[in-house]
């Protein structure tokens, strides 16, 4: 079993979701609705008391440094953020409860930013209209030059917010397209998957060496890999696909490339492209060494797709890899999820 890096609860490694250190720091330092695991009941008991004592220690140290008295209630969140988050440069592994709250707050902050921007645009547009109207009505007055200045200033204030609104709308549409919300990317992917055959295994699968220990990301594509994780956590699967493919092209060590191809395949599943997902999983199984969990999950997903598509021999070969990796794991994949994937492949390929 692994443990969640936020709440410290025991969690199977398969259920942990990676959040980059940069994303975590941004989230806990937001002025509006930061990711506060104490406020949301994710950290409690002895761990909460521990950070409460640490917060009191920070207050005492500040009082000594400034020659003031200790005031206010110690905030465990402030201590956790200052002592742990701000000094952590490695990625975080979050359990389902913590990642659910994390993603919800990310989405809430995005909506709040759009609402504030919309209000500012409306106010500036209204001010611009009023100033422009004042200038227009005074063109025939005693100070036409001043009136013209008012008119042009008003037009600038009125047109500027409109341009910003158009730009913002364009960005939102692009982000929605990346996330698959508009369907422009997801739907063509389904059409392509229905027409494109699923590639069989290129040959016998190699004997994979399973490794343990703390994962590390090495190679020229490490930066793109970490960026892809950020999009994955925000469920922007289209953007994650682009960045995972970029990371693979730029080069990764075998363990990291296998993990990238696992996440790439899962991203393609979310986008509706079974053929591309199968290719990503199969490519991952050609790499060694890699973590047993990576090999197992790739092989299990691939076996389900092959079985549903009527490719019995390839399904059996992939299932054998999953069976060899299974004793090294402390979790099992959902049998329902695999059954649903088999049914989906059977429905799309009709074999």
The pLDDT assigned to 181 comes to 39
**What pLDDT sits at residue 74?**
80
Domain boundary among 94, 125, 143: 94
Is a pLDDT exceeding 70 seen at residue 127? Answer: no
Specify if 19 maps to a domain. yes
pLDDT at 251: 94
Who has greater pLDDT, 173 or 338?
Answer: 338
The verdict on pTM exceeding 0.85 is no
- Residue-wise pLDDT for 160-193, tens only, equals 656 665 665 565 555 445 443 333 333 333 343 3
Gap between the Cα atoms of 232 and 234, Å rounded: 5
Answer yes or no: are the C-beta atoms of 210 and 254 closer than 8 Å. Answer: no
Residue 182: predicted pLDDT = 31
pLDDT at 185: 36
Give the model confidence (pLDDT) of 227-267 as tens digits: 888 887 777 888 889 999 999 999 999 999 999 999 999 99
Question: Do residues 177 and 238 make contact, with C-beta atoms less than 8 angstroms apart?
Answer: yes
To the nearest 10 degrees (0 to 180), the angle between helices 76-83 and 45-66 is 80
* Average pLDDT in the chain: 78
Question: Structurally, how many domains does the chain consist of?
Answer: 3
Q: Do 202 and 338 lie in a common domain?
A: yes
Taking only the tens place, the pLDDT of each residue in 202-211 is 888 888 999 8
For residue 315, CA distances in Å to 6, 101, 282, 297, 299 come to: 38, 37, 11, 14, 9
Domain carrying residue 33: 2-94
pLDDT > 60? residue 291: yes
pLDDT of the residue at 183: 32
Mean pLDDT of 66-79: 80
CATH number for the domain spanning 341: value is 1.25.40.10
Share of the chain above pLDDT 70, in %: 72
Report whether pLDDT(146) > 50. Answer: yes
Q: Which long-range contacts (CB under 8 A, 24 or more apart) does 132-139 make?
A: 132/157, 132/158
| Domain-ending residue, one of 69, 94, 119 | 94
Measured CA to CA, the distance from residue 273 to residue 188 in angstroms comes to: 9
Beta strand extents in the chain (DSSP E only): 2-3, 10-11, 17-19, 92-94, 210-211, 290-291
- What does the pLDDT read at residue 139? 56
Higher pLDDT, residue 145 or 270? 270
Question: Which range has highest mean pLDDT (74-83, 90-99, 244-253)?
Answer: 244-253
What's the pLDDT score for residue 329? 83
Query: Is the domain of 150 the same as that of 163?
Result: yes
pLDDT of residue 302: 95
Q: Do 67 and 49 belong to one domain?
A: yes
249 with 121, same domain: the answer is: no
Cα dihedral: 324, 329, 335, 338 (round 10): -60
Flag whether pLDDT at 348 surpasses 70: yes
- Are 271 and 343 part of one and the same domain? yes
Please state whether beta strands 210-211 and 290-291 pair in parallel, antiparallel, or not at all (unpaired). parallel
Q: How many CB atoms lie within 10 A of CB 300?
A: 23
Check whether residue 31 and residue 124 sit in a common domain.
no
Render pLDDT for 292-337 as a digit per residue (tens, 0 to 9). Answer: 999 999 999 999 999 999 999 999 999 999 999 999 887 777 788 8
* Per-residue confidence (pLDDT) for residue 349, from 0 to 100: 82
- Name the packing angle between helices 96-137 and 144-179 (round to 10°): 160
Q: Has residue 9 got a pLDDT over 70?
A: yes
**Domain end marker among 153, 179, 205:** 179
Domain assignment present for residue 29? The answer is yes
187 located within any domain: no
CB 37 within 8 A of CB 101: yes
Residues 208 and 280 in one domain: yes
| 87 in the same domain as 102 | no
pLDDT over threshold 60, residue 196: yes
Same domain, 207 and 327: yes
Same domain membership, residue 220 and residue 342: yes
The answer on 76 and 107 residing in a single domain is: no
At residue 314, the pLDDT reads 94
Query: In sequence order, what DSSP letters do the residues of 298-331 get, joined into one string?
Result: HHHHHHHHHHHTT-HHHHHHHHHHHHHHGGG-S-
Q: Is residue 330 domain-shared with residue 222, that is, in the same domain?
A: yes
User: What is the per-residue pLDDT for 307?
Assistant: 93
Mean pLDDT of 273-293: 93
Judge whether 188 lies within some domain.
no
């Amino acid at each position: 079993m692994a443990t969640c890096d936020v709440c410290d609860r025991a969690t199977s490694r398969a259920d942990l979701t990676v959040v980059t250190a940069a994303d975590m720091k941004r989230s806990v330092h937001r002025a509006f609705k930061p990711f506060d695991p104490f406020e949301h009941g994710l950290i409690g008991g002895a761990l909460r008391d521990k950070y409460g004592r640490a917060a009191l220690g920070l207050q005492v140290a500040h009082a000594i440094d400034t020659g003031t008295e200790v005031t206010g209630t110690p905030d465990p969140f402030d201590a956790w953020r200052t002592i742990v988050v701000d000094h952590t440069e490695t990625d975080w592994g979050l359990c389902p409860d913590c990642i659910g709250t994390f993603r919800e707050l990310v989405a809430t902050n995005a909506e709040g930013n759009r609402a504030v921007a919309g209000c500012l645009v409306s106010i500036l547009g209204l001010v611009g209209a009023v100033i422009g109207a004042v200038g227009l009505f005074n063109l025939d007055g005693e100070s036409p030059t001043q009136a013209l200045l008012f008119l042009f200033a008003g037009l600038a204030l009125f047109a500027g917010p409109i341009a910003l609104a158009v730009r913002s709308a364009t960005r939102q549409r692009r982000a929605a397209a990346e996330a698959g919300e508009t369907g422009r990317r997801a739907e063509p992917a389904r059409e392509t998957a229905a027409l494109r055959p699923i590639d069989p295994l290129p040959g016998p699968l190699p004997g994979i060496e399973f490794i343990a220990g703390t994962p590390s990301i090495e190679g020229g594509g490490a930066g793109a890999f970490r960026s892809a994780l950020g999009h994955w956590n925000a469920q922007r699967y289209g953007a994650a696909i682009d960045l995972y493919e970029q990371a693979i092209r730029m080069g990764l060590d075998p363990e990291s490339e296998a993990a990238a191809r696992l996440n790439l395949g899962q991203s393609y599943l979310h986008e509706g492209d079974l053929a591309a997902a199968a290719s990503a999983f199969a490519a991952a199984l050609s790499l060694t060494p890699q973590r047993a969990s990576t090999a197992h999950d790739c092989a299990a997903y691939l076996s389900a797709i092959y079985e549903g598509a009527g490719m019995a021999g390839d399904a059996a070969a992939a299932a054998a890899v999953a069976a060899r990796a299974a004793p090294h794991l402390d979790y099992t994949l959902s049998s329902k999820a695999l059954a649903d994937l088999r049914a989906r492949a059977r429905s799309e390929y009709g074999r």
